[in-house]
Amino acid sequence: ALPDARGHLLFDDVQFAYGNGRVILPDFTLDMPAGQTIALVGTTGAGKSTLAKLVSRFYDPTRGSVQLDGVDLRELSSSDLRRAIVMVTQEAYLFSGTVADNIALGKPDATLDEIQAAARAVGADGFIRALPDGYDTDVNKRGGRVSAGQRQLISFARAFLADPAVLILDEATASLDIPSERQIQEALQTLLADRTAIIIAHRLSTVAIADRVLVMEHGRIIEDDAPDAL
């Protein structure tokens, strides 16, 4: 068990092919110290989402291993894995139920105080309180409609509350209005503090807050640098 995973993530000589056999990652090695934020950029089809799927164990490597704090992810129970590694997808899905339910998804026993603290941390508390029934607003009911930026903030609050050692984020490509874009950046910085993170980044402002930027092409890293060196 890894109840207190620190978040050292290692791709060790990883090879990966989907079912059709075409090799997507020929030989991928990446060592991320605990707490580091990597922005992953690169052309379409480079293998960025594939990497994310290997960390969340949607797929396993065909050779080599992905390790958290020295332990092969395949050796972790599914509950330890879910606790240690959280993936936030582009779609930032909301499920039917209240806003509070949606934030508590990764921690069903969370109290309302904890849910509100998570929302406050990512700057979502204000708009949630302005909804017709506040935290009890049903996200699928009329009046409970939330914008793309607000959905994103709710999914950030969910991840903040779950407090994983490792966060994988596939950044939304959908355009947001300027204030919410800035709000998302601030929320991201709060969310990234004290955890290991891989962000598939589409915005320059996100790349700028990373510790390290990887440029991928055809399943390989072609650049690995600090953001200001690029």
Write out the residues near Mg ion by the rule CB under 5 A: 48-49
Q: Which residue has the tokens 């290997």?
A: 54
Partner touching 18 among Mg ion, ligand ATP, none, CB below 5 to 8 Å by kind: ligand ATP
Q: How far apart are CA 57 and CA 78, in angstroms?
A: 9
Stretch that binds ligand ATP, among 37-45, 143-151, 189-197, 203-211 (CB under 6 A): 37-45
CA distances (Å), 175 to each of 109, 148, 152, 181, 208, in order?
Answer: 34, 9, 12, 8, 18
Q: What character string, x for contact with ligand ATP (CB under 6 A) and - otherwise, covers 16-35?
A: --x-x---x-----------
Q: Are 161 and 190 in contact (CB under 8 A)?
A: no
Partner touching 93 among ligand ATP, Mg ion, none, CB below 5 to 8 Å by kind: none
In sequence order, the 6+-apart residues with CB closer than 8 A to the CB of 109 are none
Q: How far apart are CA 199 and CA 104, in angstroms?
A: 22
Q: Are 105 and 95 in contact (CB under 8 A)?
A: yes
Between residues 34 and 215, which has the closer beta carbon with respect to ligand ATP? 215
Residue 203 near ligand ATP by CB under 6 A: no
Backbone φ, ψ for residue 115 (5° rounding):
-65, -45
Applying CB under 6 A, among 4, 21, 44, 175 the residue interacting with ligand ATP is: 44
Stretch that binds ligand ATP, among 39-47, 76-84, 95-103, 161-169 (CB under 6 A): 39-47
Q: From its phi and psi, is residue 163 left (phi > 0), alpha (psi between -120 and 50) or beta?
A: left
Could you tell me the smallest distance in angstroms from the CB atom of residue 5 to Mg ion?
25
In sequence order, the 6+-apart residues with CB closer than 8 A to the CB of 114 are 107, 161
Nearest by Cα to 194 from 58, 9, 47, 34: 34
Stretch that binds ligand ATP, among 26-34, 38-46, 66-74, 100-108 (CB under 6 A): 38-46
Residue 196 near ligand ATP by CB under 6 A: no
Applying CB under 6 A, among 7, 47, 64, 164 the residue interacting with ligand ATP is: 47
Applying CB under 6 A, among 49, 62, 65, 67 the residue interacting with ligand ATP is: 49
Q: How far apart are CA 137 and CA 94, in angstroms?
A: 12
What's 138's DSSP letter? B
Residue 159 near ligand ATP by CB under 6 A: no
Partner touching 173 among ligand ATP, Mg ion, none, CB below 5 to 8 Å by kind: none
- Residues near ligand ATP (CB under 6 A) are 18, 20, 24, 42, 44-50
